[in-house]
Amino acid sequence: MNYYLVDYENVKSHGLDGITSLDSSDVLVIFYSENADSLTFGLHRRLNESKAKISYQKVDVGTKNALDFQLATYLGYLVRDNEGQESSYYIVTKDQGFTSLVNYWKKRKINVSLIVDLSGRDVQKEKNDLRVQVEKVVSDQAVVDIVVKYIQQYKTKLGINNALAKQFKDSKKASEIYNAIKPLIADKKGQ
């Protein structure tokens, strides 16, 4: 049995791309909060047409990474509940913070993977692809990893801009980097 735990705050509706490929033995659990609690009619239709068993977990917010902690706890519950059964668990997110959770379970021979959507796109591949794009627009190779980290970490353009300003403490350099990566963050919230 395959379990898909969706960090909806992080991936939004794009994380559910590939939902039509799930079958009746798959379980989809969508973790959402007041920060991300809306669906388009198109996505609603695709959810209804899916053969997977779908449930929703509205999580409490108010602390940093609240959704992440609740998703991790639920994963532990599922692993224990399915002990002795052949199951695979997929965390649907772009949040690299879940890597330590994946490593924890892999050491215990539990099949847990990070994917960015239900079609199975790989988080590490996404990071590598983003790195290639950043390398094309940022000439200083020493800061490429920092820029990639901030693009993946922050959900808004303002968050990325503020992180760059704090990191480099040189408004001119931070501004140059931000302007160079603007096309790469066009899908982020803000102006």
Angle between helices 171-181 and 144-153 (to 10 degrees): 70
CB 107 within 8 Å of CB 100? no
Q: How many CB atoms lie within 10 A of CB 14?
A: 15
pLDDT of residue 121: 73
pLDDT of residue 62: 85
SS (H, E, C) 12-71: HHHHHCCHHHCCCCCEEEEEEECCECCCCHHHHHHHHHCCCEEEEEECCCCCCCHHHHHH
pLDDT of residue 154: 84
Give residue-wise pLDDT tens across range 17-75.
999 999 999 999 999 998 888 888 989 999 999 999 999 999 988 888 999 999 999 99
Question: What is the mean pLDDT of the segment spanning 124-139?
Answer: 87
Between 162 and 96, residue with greater pLDDT: 162
Q: If pLDDT is split at 50, 70 and 90, which confidence band does 129 have?
A: confident
Pairing of strands 111-115, 88-92: parallel
Give residue-wise pLDDT tens across range 90-124.
999 988 889 999 999 999 999 999 999 998 877 67
